[in-house]
Amino acid sequence: MNFNQIIGQDEVLDRIRTIIKNKKEGHAYIFSGSKGIGKKTIAEIFASIAICSEDVVEESCGKCKGCKLFNGKTNPDFYRISTKENSISVDDIRKMQKDVLIKPLYSPKKVYLIEDAQKLTLQAQNCLLKTLEEPPSYALIILTTSNNDALIETIRSRSVTFLFKKNTFDEVKKFLIDNGLANEREADFIAAYSDGVIGRAKELSTSNEFKENRDKAIEILLKINECKTKDIFSVYDFFERNKESIDEILDIMVVFYRDLLVVGKSGNENILINSDKKDIIVNNINNFSTEKLFKNIKAIDELRSNIRRNVNYQLAVEVMLMKVQEEIL
């Protein structure tokens, strides 16, 4: 893959291209942005170019010894720290530091990619700082993170930071269609739910769980709009089962209400996000007043805020359900 194949991130790519053209690679970079935004992909392309022995900008030559080893995932001049655990330990960084002392074997540079750097423990960050303060000229360190504030100030001050912006709706939709991940109608609602993150859109396009959760969440919203207060607690189990993906569930609920609002106000069915649910939406427009829809969206936003503040999860969800069910007098 090369830089020309990346969708969006023009500002980031222009800065990286300038660095490569001027042969002024720094020793440390932070790629910061939402999970799935493309940080790792661009970091890997950058690494492959830094490791390449040829004078290239957009992509590595693929022919030199360093490139062949990199493409075969066996180049000792490329060192990756990646973990599914909750933290990256000081021992992980110490191992890296021992490797940094060894000069490149096949490449002009040695590249160190630390994925999800927000997982670095404080001890690990302080240990890494020693390398950032006195790096060998051949070392290039790239940290990717979804939370730049999780890195201590001294690491940020010794690194060049690239902020990755979310893609536009049209960019995400085009990616889905061009890569055969969705048809025109599917691409609309997947792009809307992806929140400008192509990696997220790719994930949603193949997720049966997302599709099932969308169907169930919409079913619940219609059900609690008609049931009595004592009956709403029967739907709590759905929110408990999906506790880890509650943000996604809340997004589904808000977007459904948004569609009811849009069609109710404009009568234009062509601008629905849940375009495949058009019949359900049209048939239920008269069951929700504009005031009720705005009130329900506010209740969902309050739940999201309460969860982030670590308010008791069950209590917060049940309060939201009661507010959503409550009639406007």
Q: What tens digit of pLDDT does each residue of 283-299 get?
A: 999 999 999 999 999 99
Mean of the per-residue pLDDT values for the chain?
92
DSSP bridge pairs for 160: 29
Burial of 291 (0-12, 13-18, 19+ CB in 10 A): exposed
- How many angstroms separate the CA atoms of 77 and 139, rounded? 9
Render pLDDT for 222-265 as a digit per residue (tens, 0 to 9). 988 877 666 677 889 999 999 999 999 999 999 999 999 998 88
Structure confidence at residue 118 (pLDDT)? 97
C-alpha triplet 280, 189, 167: angle, nearest 5°: 160
Structure confidence at residue 195 (pLDDT)? 87
Tell me which H or E stretch contains 98.
helix 90-100
Structure confidence at residue 290 (pLDDT)? 93
Render pLDDT for 194-210 as a digit per residue (tens, 0 to 9). 889 999 999 999 998 99
Q: What band does 276 get if pLDDT is binned at 50, 70 and 90?
A: confident
Structure confidence at residue 86 (pLDDT)? 92
Residue 43 has pLDDT above 50, yes or no: yes
- How many angstroms separate the CA atoms of 327 and 329, rounded? 6
Q: 251, 193 in Cβ contact below 8 A?
A: yes
Domains, the chain, ordered by start: 3-163 (3.40.50.300), 207-325 (1.20.272.10)
**Cα distances (Å, whole numbers) of residue 203 to 6, 35, 68, 230, 254:** 17, 12, 30, 37, 20
Residue 132 has phi, psi (to 5 degrees) of -70, -30
What pTM was estimated for this model as a whole? 0.81
Written as one string, the DSSP assignment of 6-74 is --S-HHHHHHHHHHHHTT---SEEEEE--TTSSHHHHHHHHHHHHH-SS--SSS--S-SHHHHHHHTT-
Written as one string, the DSSP assignment of 235-289 is GHHHHHHTGGGHHHHHHHHHHHHHHHHHHHHH--GGG-SSGGGHHHHHHHGGGS-
